[in-house]
């Protein structure tokens, strides 16, 4: 596995075992800087587990993960977050009673709010920071075409709008690479297109690299090149979606697990 400048992320022979079960079983792959890389594969292939290991949510059993040439294996999510590596999470239940704007303003940044010095002497600075944070949140809402939701409670917006808000959280910091796990699941077509457009714009205009897990092949086809296909914990094939769809091993892997209609490759 090479460590050329093109590769933002290098995953080397990664294993994650749960007891005797090998959820990730020798996965090796590279994510190119500036790419929108698709990660597909049948249910249980180990995609989410791989994401969780890369993003520091789970520690690998063995194997290495590098970001920009630096070994980041096993670093906790908040450390990776400050390096610009983000994995989106569902908006936690306790944030449902906060507005969409407040949810964005909650994303940890370099706020100096909590220190004792600031509590005594820094009220003015805190107010300035809060204003800046609010302006940033409003800018993000506008980028995502959901300005009209700014004052709505996060618990009251639709599932698709929540996905956009989750994506919005990655825009409150200087993200370099964002891992999206099934952002399109259960989202209607119109919002799915809005999400896809936001991903494309973040990629083109702000240089975000994305890794996208998705079962919807139209979504993958519209956004992703290359596409990596996993099965049984390792990488089966990598290429354009057309190449992946024509790959015998990929077709077999999907057939072997009883394919769902929406997963159908080669269709």
Residues of this chain that interact with ligand ATP (CB under 6 A) are 18, 21, 23, 41, 43-49
Query: Environment class of residue 123 by beta-carbon count within 10 Å: exposed (0-12), middle (13-18) or buried (19+)?
Result: exposed
Selection from 205, 100, 80, 202 nearest residue 147 by Cα = 100
Nearer to ligand ATP, 100 or 213 (CB): 213
As measured in angstroms, the least distance from the Cβ of 232 to ligand ATP is: 9
Of 37, 48, 52, 161, the residue at the interface with Mg ion (CB under 5 A) is 48
Per CB under 5 A, the segment of 48-56, 58-66, 164-172, 234-242 that binds Mg ion is: 48-56
Residue 21 or 120 with smaller CB distance to ligand ATP: 21
What is each CA distance from 195 to 73, 143, 146, 156, 190, in whole angstroms?
30, 11, 11, 19, 9
Residue 47 CB, nearest approach to ligand ATP (Å):
3
Least Cβ distance, residue 23 to ligand ATP (angstroms): 3
In order, the DSSP letters of 217-238 are HHHHHHH-BSEEEEETTEEEEE
Residue number, 48 or 170, with CB nearest to Mg ion: 48
φ, ψ for residue 27 (rounded to 5)?
Answer: -85, 130
Report the partner that residue 23 touches, choosing among Mg ion, ligand ATP, none (CB closer than 5 to 8 A by kind): ligand ATP
Phi, psi of 38 (to 5 degrees): -90, 140
Residue (192 or 230) nearer to ligand ATP, CB: 230
- Picked from ligand ATP, Mg ion, none, the partner binding residue 21 (CB below 5 to 8 A depending on kind) is ligand ATP
Nearest to 212, CA basis, from 239, 182, 244, 250: 182
Binding footprint of Mg ion on the chain (CB under 5 A): 48
């Amino acid at each position: 596995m090479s460590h050329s400048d093109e590769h933002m992320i290098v995953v080397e022979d990664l294993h994650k075992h749960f007891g005797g079960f090998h959820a990730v079983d020798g996965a090796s792959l590279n994510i190119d800087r500036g790419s929108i890389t698709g990660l597909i594969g049948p249910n249980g292939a180990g995609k989410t587990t791989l994401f969780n290991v890369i993003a520091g949510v789970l520690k690998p059993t063995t194997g290495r993960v590098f970001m920009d040439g630096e070994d980041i294996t096993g670093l906790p999510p908040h450390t990776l977050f400050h390096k610009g590596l983000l994995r989106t999470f569902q908006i936690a239940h306790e944030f449902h009673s906060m507005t969409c704007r407040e949810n964005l303003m909650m994303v940890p940044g370099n706020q100096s709010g909590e220190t004792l010095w600031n509590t005594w002497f820094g009220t003015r600075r805190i107010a300035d920071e809060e204003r800046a944070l609010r302006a940033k949140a409003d800018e993000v809402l506008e980028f995502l075409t959901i300005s009209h939701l700014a004052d709505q409670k996060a618990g009251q917006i639709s599932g698709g709008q929540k996905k956009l808000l989750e994506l919005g959280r990655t825009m409150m910091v200087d993200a370099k690479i964002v891992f999206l796990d099934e952002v399109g699941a259960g989202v209607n077509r119109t919002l799915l297109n809005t999400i896809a457009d936001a991903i494309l714009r973040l990629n083109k205009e702000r240089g975000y690299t994305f890794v996208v897990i998705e079962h919807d092949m139209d979504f993958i086809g519209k956004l992703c090149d290359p596409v990596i296909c996993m099965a049984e914990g390792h990488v089966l094939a990598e290429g354009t979606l057309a190449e992946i769809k024509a790959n015998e091993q990929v077709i077999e892997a999907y057939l072997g697990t009883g394919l769902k209609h929406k997963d159908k490759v080669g269709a």
